[in-house]
């Protein structure tokens, strides 16, 4: 029933750390990245992300789908920015036009015009680096962490046993339900269901989603009885839980945690002092 993530022991830099230490570092990294909009500060986080990606030893063919998705996503956001500058609105108020692209054709009397401004460009670049850093660090997790360690990691981070085990199960269920969803969709398609032709008004559309959502949900709940029985038979939650494997912090893990916390504190301190706001190089403002 369980479909696994594509984990393998790869002796990569990431895997040489204790997963708990890496999760702490990762959270600090995320929190540090989101406080900055300045391209130059983001480059630092970008470099860290690249370091982990290039030392991850995950073959391209394993990750290609995930990467293509990320790239598509990033391009979508950059294109989105270029057409509108939306999202940057809170960051800058004036724009300096670099060039103006005017289409040579007209659609119903409207000439498509694209204003390329210094602010938009820098916003797109900053956004790209920001999203790439976050997404690439996140995507390494399922490839690098042993699924058997999920529960131990969350327990080791100080969560109660039951919550840790709940998180463990959640991460194991996600790929399973993903597969169940595509199976259900195929089954419904074989019965003539067409998701591509979701027409009609809002209410009709929502109602038409029920044949996908309800079977997957109910199947998951009905199938959970076996898991519950198996856990109950092993006396889940009766006493304090012990875990099969133990994780221990070594020196390098402590260094990584210290580094992460240092990055977080310095980032928050810098942003509190007003550094790292949206930045446009002076030569673009010309």
Partner 1 sequence: MQKWLKVVLSLLAVLAFFLGVWLIGRMINPNLNLDETALLRFVFVGIGLLIVLVVYLLTSKNKMWEVGTRQVVYMAIGAALFAIFSYLFNGTVFVVPSVSQVALRPAIAIPMFFGYAFGPVVGFFTGAVGNMFGDALTGFGLSPQWSVGNGLVGLISGMVWLFADKKKSINVVLLVSAVLAAAITVYYFLNPSTSNAMFFDVDNGIFGDAQISMFAGVSVLIGLAIVLIVRFVFGKNIDVAAAVTWAMLGNLVGIGFAAISDIWINGYPPVVALVGEFLPAAGPNLIFAAILVPILVAAYAAVQKQTGR
**Interaction residues for partner 1, span 231-270 (CB under 8 A):** 231-232, 236-237, 265, 268-269
Q: Which is nearer to partner 1, 130 or 155 (CB)?
A: 130
**Considering the rule CB under 8 A, would residue 202 count as an interface residue with partner 1?**
yes
CA separation for the pair 77, 225 (Å, rounded): 42
> Nearest-CA neighbor of 55 among 23, 12, 19?
12
Q: Which of 214, 255, 258, 284 binds partner 1 (CB under 8 A)?
A: 214
Smallest gap, in angstroms, from Cβ of residue 68 to partner 1?
A: 12
Which run of H or of E encompasses 113? Answer: strand 113-117
Q: CB of residue 169 vs partner 1: minimum separation in angstroms?
A: 3
Q: Which backbone phi and psi does 114 adopt, to 5 degrees?
A: -120, 115
Distance CA 22, CA 256 (A): 7
Q: Which of 13, 30, 98, 116 binds partner 1 (CB under 8 A)?
A: 30
Residue from 37, 184, 42, 183 nearest 119 by CA: 37
Structural contact between residues 286 and 96, judged by C-beta atoms closer than 8 angstroms: yes
Three-state SS sequence of 10-38: CCCCHHHCCHHHHHHHHHHHHHHHHCCCC
CA dihedral over 61, 65, 66, 67, signed as positive or negative:
positive
Phi then psi for residue 116, to 5 deg, are -95, 115
Shortest reach from residue 86's CB to partner 1, in Å: 3
Nearer to partner 1, 11 or 225 (CB): 225
Give the nearest distance from C-beta 265 to partner 1 in angstroms. 6
Rounded Cα distance between 274 and 262, Å, is 18
Q: How many residues bind partner 1 (CB under 8 A)?
A: 72
Q: Which is nearer to partner 1, 3 or 286 (CB)?
A: 3
Tokens of 185: 């969709």
From the list 4-12, 51-59, 78-86, 252-260, the region that binds partner 1 by CB under 8 A is: 78-86
Residues 129-188 that bind partner 1 (CB under 8 A): 130-131, 134-135, 138-139, 162-163, 165-174, 176-178, 181
Closer to partner 1 by CB, 192 or 201: give it. Answer: 201
- Which range binds partner 1 by CB under 8 A, 49-57, 102-110, 208-216, 239-247? 208-216
Phi, psi angle pair for 255, to nearest 5°: -65, -45
203 contacts partner 1 (rule: CB under 8 A): yes
Residue 215-234 contact track with partner 1, rule CB under 8 A, x = bound: -xxx-xxx-xx-xx--xx--
Q: How far is the CB of 131 from partner 1 (least distance, A)?
A: 7
In sequence order, what DSSP letters do the residues of 114-142 get, joined into one string? EEEEHHHHHHHHHHHHHHHHHHHHHHHHH
| Cα 95 to chain centroid, rounded | 31
Among residues 47, 75, 79, 148, the one that binds partner 1 under rule CB under 8 A: 79
> Residue 130 or residue 280: which is nearer to partner 1 going by CB?
130
The C-alpha atoms of residue 10 and residue 218 are separated, in whole angstroms, by: 38
Q: Does 274 sit near partner 1 (CB under 8 A)?
A: yes
Task: Scan residues 83-122 and list those touching partner 1 (CB under 8 A).
Answer: 83-84, 86-87, 89-90
């Amino acid at each position: 029933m369980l479909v696994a993530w594509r984990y393998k022991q790869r002796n990569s830099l990431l895997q040489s750390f204790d997963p708990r230490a890496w999760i702490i570092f990762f959270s600090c990294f995320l929190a540090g990245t989101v406080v900055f909009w300045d391209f130059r500060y983001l480059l630092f986080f970008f470099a860290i992300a690249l370091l982990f990606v290039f030392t991850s030893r995950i073959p391209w063919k394993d990750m290609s789908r995930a990467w293509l998705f990320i790239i598509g996503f990033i391009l979508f956001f950059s294109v989105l920015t270029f057409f509108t500058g939306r999202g940057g609105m809170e960051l800058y108020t004036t724009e300096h036009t670099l060039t103006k692209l005017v289409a040579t054709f007209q659609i119903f009397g409207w000439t498509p015009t694209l204003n390329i401004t210094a602010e938009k460009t820098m916003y797109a670049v900053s956004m790209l680096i920001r999203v790439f850093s976050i997404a690439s660090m996140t995507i390494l997790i399922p490839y690098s962490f042993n699924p058997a360690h999920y529960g131990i990691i969350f327990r080791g981070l100080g969560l109660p046993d039951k919550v840790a085990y709940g998180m463990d199960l959640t991460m194991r269920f996600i790929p399973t339900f993903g597969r169940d969803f595509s199976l259900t969709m195929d089954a419904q398609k074989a019965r003539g269901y067409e998701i591509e032709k979701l027409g009609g008004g809002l209410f009709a559309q929502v109602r038409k989603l029920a044949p996908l959502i309800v079977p997957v949900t109910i199947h998951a709940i009905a199938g959970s009885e076996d898991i519950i029985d198996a856990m109950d038979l092993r006396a889940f939650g009766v006493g304090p839980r012990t875990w099969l494997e133990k994780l221990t912090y070594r020196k390098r893990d402590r260094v990584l945690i210290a580094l992460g916390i240092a990055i977080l504190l310095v980032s928050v301190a810098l942003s509190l002092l007003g550094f790292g706001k949206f930045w446009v190089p002076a030569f673009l403002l010309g």
